[in-house]
Amino acid sequence: MASSPAPTCTAQDTIDWSFNSLGQSPCEVASILAGVCVSEGFRFRLPPLTNPRQFYTGPKVDEQNSCRCSSVVYSLMSACSRCQGGSILQWLPYSANCSTKFHGSYPMPIPEGVAVPRWAYMDVEVERNIFQSSAAVAIAGEVTSADNAPPTIPIPEAPSAQEPQKTSNVGAITGGVVGGVVFLALIGILAGFFLRRRKQTVEAEKPPDLDKADSYGVDALALGDESFNTHQFTGTTLSAPAPPLKLYDPDDPSTFPSAKGDFESRFPNKSFGSPDRSSVATSDNYRLDPIHPNFTGMTGTTAMTNSGMYTGHGPVI
């Protein structure tokens, strides 16, 4: 059986922070960590997402294990979805079938040859129960970006030998105060920058609306089989439409009403002078009351059905 393609990160704004120090994508790392709990002879695969409203689902009851129920794997799978331009499922529905949940930790040994990004260990319950790309970017920046390094405080120059000791002490104190003020100002500027940036991206982190018809959850687990399924979360199960009812057709014997004797035996107290709605059967055919033989007020044959007036082209038995 041909292998399904691996997910490919196409969102350029996610590649810098989501890839680890070894150049591995979050999709690769998620597959490796989730595969630790897979039985020997099988492997774990994440299928690619093809729709912006697709997202990776959590484990089923018979698939839940320590690896899949770790928020570290959840965060990596969410980053994998985000880097493909997909949606993200909240942590609570993702882990609904987990008997034990691991918050901010991975309970198994990390396999050799893989590096887990620091942002994967953040506590998603603190982040509104959903993986927040903005928080991951901030954490990744603390580790890899020199722009987020703590600012340095300039060291005041040593006083000249001619200046008295008192002047030297005053200069040192003044320099320390100025340096402290500069340090606090820089910290405030950086904090304001990150808060503003995070506020701007909160709307992008909203979970998908599962009631919409174009929301899809993609099963992440494919053990021993490269195929995968998609599930549409619409909350509605459609059934086959009922067969249409047939109207009387003089050219179709299957629509002919019962014989006159049958009507008289079944309805001995009926008056045949007027149509009766109660005689319409619940089968696929409309059954009509016969017209009184002395009724000559119409040139054609007219009978009442439960849907209105019906004019026939032949005699009604």
pTM: 0.51
pLDDT of residue 184: 77
pLDDT of residue 252: 76
Question: Per residue in 261-279, is it b (16+ CB within 10 Å) or e — as a string?
Answer: eebeeeeeeeebeebeeeb
Write the DSSP string, 83-151.
HTT-----HHHHTTT-SS-BSS---SPPPTT----GGGGS-TTTTTTS--HHHHHHHHHHHH-GGGSPP
Under-50 pLDDT residues of the chain: 143-167, 199-204, 210-216, 221-242, 263, 272, 274-292, 295-317
CB half-sphere exposure, 183, CA atoms < 13 A = 12
Give me the amino acid identity at 184: L
pLDDT of residue 259: 52
